[in-house]
Amino acid sequence: MQWQTDWGLRGRMALTGFLLFALYIVFAGLLVAYFGNVIPMLIMLGGFSLLQYYFSDTLALKSMGAHEVSEDEQPALHDMVTRLSRQADLPKPKVAVADSRVPNAFATGRNQKNATVCVTTGIMNTLDREELEGVLAHELAHIKNRDVMVMTIASFLSTIAFIIVRWGWLFSGGGDSRNQAPIWVAILVSLVVWAISFLLIRALSRYREYSADRGAATITGKPSALASALMKISGRMDSVPKEDLREQAEMNAFFIIPIRSGFIGRIASTHPPTERRIEKLRDLERELETA
C-alpha cells in the first residue's frame, strides 16, 4: 500500500481551524469591548502555550513516568521503530517506555524531526510482534499527520476560555454588582466559546484516530494486526486496577485507546468506538485481499 494524502483529514482540519478562528475572533472582540486592551494577557498566555508546545514531548513523558530507552536496553523495540519509520518515510523518533500495567501507547513531539513514540510495559507484555508493530505504525501515522501540533494549536484559545471561566468564577464573589457585570459577561462568553471549541476539537480528535488507523494499515500492509491489537488492549483494560487508570486519564487524547473512566472519560471521548475502528480496519483488510 502506498501512503496517500488524507484529504478528509485535511478538510476537517481546515474546517475546524476556520470555525475555531472565527469563534476566537468574536471571543477576543468581546473581551476587548468589555475590558479594553487584553492583548498583554493573550501574549502572556500565548507564551506559556508556546513553551508547552515546545516541550510537549518532555511534559508528556514525565506525566506518564516514562523514560527514553537506548537500543541496548530495548533492541527489538528499536528495530521495529527503525523499520516502520523507514516504511513511513519519517525520521526515526525517540523511543520511550513507561512502566505501567495499562496496555497503551502514544506519540508526542512538536514536529516530525522532534518526536517520541512511547509504549507501556503493559502493552509490550500483551501484544505479539505483529500487533505491536500495528500500534507503533498507528503512532507514526500521528507523527506523519502532525496531529500533536494541530491539536495543540487548536486547543490554545479553548484553554484561555477555560481559564477565564474558572478564575473569573472564583473571583466574581463579593464587591459592587455593577462592577461585576463585565466579569459575568466574560464568564458567560468564555463558557460558550469553551463548550463549542471543546466539541469541535473532540470531533477532530476522533477523526484523526481513523486517519491514523488507515496510516498504520498503509505502513504495515496488515490492517488485521492493528485490529487484533485493539481487541486485545480493549479486553485488558477491564482487568487494570482503577487507580492505574485514573493516574493516566489526562493523557486520553494521545493514547491508542482512551481510558473510559474518571471525569475526562465521562464527559467526552477523544477516540471513536473501538468496535467501529476494528470494523473499518477489517474493511481495509478485505480491500487488500481483493486488490
Q: What angle do CA 89, 90, 93 make, to 5 degrees?
A: 150
Cell 476556520 maps to which residue?
18
Catalytic residue check, 139: yes
Q: Is the dihedral of CA 214, 215, 218, 219 positive or negative?
A: negative
Phi, psi (deg, nearest 5) at residue 83: -65, -45
Helix, strand, coil: what percent of the chain each, to 5? 70, 10, 20
Q: Could you tell me the CA-to-CA distances from 262 to 66, 233, 288 in Å, in that order?
A: 22, 18, 39
Distance CA 255, CA 147 (A): 12
Contact 112, 92 (CB under 8 A): no
Calpha distance 173→13 (Å, rounded): 39
Over the Cα atoms of the chain, what is R_g?
A: 21
Helix (H, G, I), strand (E, B) or coil at 280: helix
Catalytic residue among 130, 139, 250, 285: 139
Cβ atoms 83, 140 nearer than 8 A: no
Give the total residue count for the chain: 291
Helices 177-220, 7-35: inter-axial angle, 10-degree rounding = 170
Q: Which residues are catalytic?
A: 139
